[in-house]
Structure 1
Amino acid sequence: MNFLLSVAFVLCWSSGFIGAKLGAGSAPASTILMWRFLPLAVILLAVSAAGGAAFWRVLTLRDMARQGLIGLLSQSGYLLTVYYAIQLGVSSGTTALIDGVQPLVAGALAGPLLRQYVAPRQWLGLCLGATGVTVVTTADAAANTADAWWAYLIPFLGMLSLVAATFLEDRSRTRVAASASMTVHCITSAVLFTALAAGTGTVTPPPDMTFWAAITWLIALSTFGGYGLYWLILKRSGVTKVNTLMFLMAPVTAAWGALMFGEPLGLQALLGLAVTFGAVVVVHRGNTSPAEQQVP
C-alpha cells in the first residue's frame, strides 16, 4: 500500500510541472493559478457545506490560522515561485532540480528542529539522490537561457517555503484531517491568487482550450493527487521519507516531457534516473524505526 501511494504521489506531483508547461504558453502565471484554485475552493466549500457543521467543528480558530499559514507556505508560495520561474524562462527540468535540493535541506534540519534522528544509511540515500537529480538536469540547465540570472534563485524560495510548511505541520500538536486542511489551504490560495490576478489585470482567462485543459489537469492530478498525497505520506512515513521521494520528480518530469513534448532524453538522463531510483531504495530499506524516533 505504501509503495502504491509513493508511486501515485511521484506521478501526480510531477504532473504539476507538465501542467505548468501546458498552461504557460497561453496565460501568465497569475491567471493560471487563480483559475486553478478558484473553482477548487468553490468545490471544497460545497463539500464542506454538505458535511454540515461537523466538518469544521474539529477545527479551532488557532488550527485554522495555522493551516492558513501552512497553505500560504506550501501551496501559494511554492507554486507562485515555480510558475514565475518557468514564465521567466527557467525550464521545468531545472526547476525540478532546484526543488530536488529540498530533501537535503529537510534532512539537515530534521534533527535540530524536529528532534528526529536521520540514520547514516538515509544520509547516503539523500546524497545519492542529489547526485542522480544533478545528472538528469545538468545538460538542461546548461542549455537553458532564462530572461535573467536571478530567475534561477526564485525556485529556491519556493523550495524553502515548502520545507518551512513541512516542519510547521510536523511540529503541530493537533492533527487535522486531510480534507479539512486541504480546504483551508485551497481557500487561502484562491483568495491570494485572485487578489494577485485582479491587481495585475490578468483575471480574464484566454479563449483557448489548451488553457482549460491545463487547468483541469492541474486541479485533478496536481492538487487532489500530488498535494493531497504529500500530506498523507508525511503523516504516515515522516519527513525524511516523503522528501526522499521528491528526488524522483526531476527524472520523472524529464521522461514525461520527452514522451509528451518530444523533449530530448539521452543516456545521461537515463543514468540519472537509475541513480535516483537507487537512492529511494537505499532510504526506504534503511532502518526505519530509528529514523522516525524522537531523540532523547
Structure 2
Amino acid sequence: MSLDRLAPAIFVLLWSTGWVVAKFGAIVSEPLTFLSIRYVTAAILFTVLCLASRAAWPRDMRTVLHAIVSGAFLHGIYLGTVWWAIGQGVPAALSSIIAALQPLMTALAAPFFIGERLGTMQKLGICLGFLGVLIAVLPKFFGQSAAEIPAFAIVVNMLGMAAVTYGTIYQKQHLHTGDIRTIATLQYVGALVVTVPFALALENLHVDFGFAFVALLAWSVLGISVGAILLLLYLLRRGQVSRAASLIYLVPPIAALQAAAVFGEELTVPMILGTAIVVVGVYLTNRKDVAPAE
C-alpha cells in the first residue's frame, strides 16, 4: 500500500495523541514551558537528521523567512494558545470543537487565497465532518456549567484555530518547493520565537523532571513534532490544502477513544455515531475524482 494512502491515517493517529499528551503535560509542567522544551528538542533532532541525510537547506532568505513565519502560526500560536487555554480551564472537548472549525474555515478561505474550488460532494463532506464532531463531543458538556469556562480563554483558543487555518494556507502559498526536513526545522525556530517570550512572561518555567516528563517529551517530539508534522507537510504538498485540513475532523473522535482507554472516560453512543459520520465526511472531502464546481 502506497504512502499516499497510509499517510492520512497515520497522521490522524499520531496527531490525536496530542490531546492525551496535553492532559498529562499539565501535571508535569506549565504548558508554554513544556512546548518550548519540546520545540527546542524537535529543532535539534531535525537539524541532526538534515545534516546526517545531507538535506538541502533553502538558498534564499525569502524561503527561510516563509518557513519561520509558517512555523510561528502552525506550531507557536496554534499549540501555544490551545495548551494555554486548556491550562486556564477550557475543557478539552470544547477545545477540540473549536479546532474542528478549522477545515470549514480553510475551505471557505482557500478560494480567496490560493484559488482552490470545492466540488459539491466535497462541500457535503465538510458539512458532515462538522456535524459528526458536534455529535461526538457535545455530550461531554452535559453538566458542565458555562460560568465555569473562562470566556477570555475560549477567545484565545479560537485565535489558535484561526492561526492554524492561516498557517496552512500560508504554507500552501509560499512553500511549494524545498526539502520538507529543512523546512520543518526552520518552522520549529518560528515556533520558538512565539512560545519562549510568552513562557517567560506568563509562567514560572516550572517542570517536574522525572520519568513521566521524559516519556511525554519523547512521544511529543518523536511521535508528534517529528512523525506527524512530516506527514502533514507531505500531505499539504501532495494534495489540496482544504482536503488535508479536513483530516482534523477525525482528531476529536479518536482522541475521545484514547481518553476512554487511558483515563477511563465514558465512550457514549453519540461519540461512536459522530465518529462514523466524521469518517464519511472526510472520505467525501478527500475524494480525488470529484470535479471542482464551476
TM-score (norm 1): 0.90
State the Cα RMSD in Å.
Answer: 2.1
- How has the CA–CA distance of structure 1 residues 113 and 273 changed in structure 2, closer, same or farther, with 3 Å as cutoff? same
- Checking the alignment, whether the CA contact within 8 Å between 1:93 and 1:253 is kept in structure 2 is no
Work out the percentage of aligned pairs sharing the same amino acid.
25
Contact 1:59 1:176 in 2 (8 A): no
Per-residue deviation, 1:156:
1.2
Identify which of 5, 8, 11 aligns with 2:7: 5
Matches within 5 A, 1:1-296: 1=2, 2-50=4-52, 55-56=56-57, 58-144=58-144, 146-172=148-174, 174-200=176-202, 202-285=204-287, 287-288=289-290, 290=292
2:292 match: secondary structure: helix
Kindly state the Cα deviation for residue 188 of structure 1 after the two structures are TM-superposed.
2.5
Structure 1 Cα separation of the partners of residues 22 and 203 of structure 2: 20
Residues 287, 16 of structure 1: CA spacing in aligned structure 2 closer, same or farther, 3 A cutoff?
same
How much has 1:284 moved relative to structure 2? 2.7
Deviation at 1:243, TM superposition (A): 1.2
How far 1:51 sits from its partner (Å)? Answer: 5.4
Secondary structure of 2:209's counterpart equals coil
Whichever residue aligns with residue 254 of structure 1, its letter is A
Q: Following TM superposition, by how much is the alpha carbon of 1:194 offset from its aligned partner in structure 2, in angstroms?
A: 3.4
Contact 2:125–2:284 (8 Å) recurs in 1: yes
Indicate if the aligned counterparts of 2:30 and 2:206 stay in contact, CA closer than 8 A: no
Instruction: Note the C-alpha offset of 1:82.
Output: 1.0
* Cα gap change, 1:196 to 1:237, in 2 (>3 Å): same
TM superposition shift of 1:204: 5.0
Is the Cα contact below 8 Å between 1:63 and 1:174 reproduced in 2?
Answer: no
Cα offsets for 1:89-130 (capped at 9, x unmatched)? 222222111111111101111212211111111000100110
Is there any run of 5+ residues in structure 1 with no aligned partner, and where? none
* Inter-CA distance 100–200: structure 2 relative to 1 (3 Å threshold): closer
- How many residues align? The count is 290
Conserved in 2, the CA contact under 8 Å of 1:122 and 1:286?
Answer: no
Tell me the distance in 2 between the aligned counterparts of 1:124 and 1:264. 30
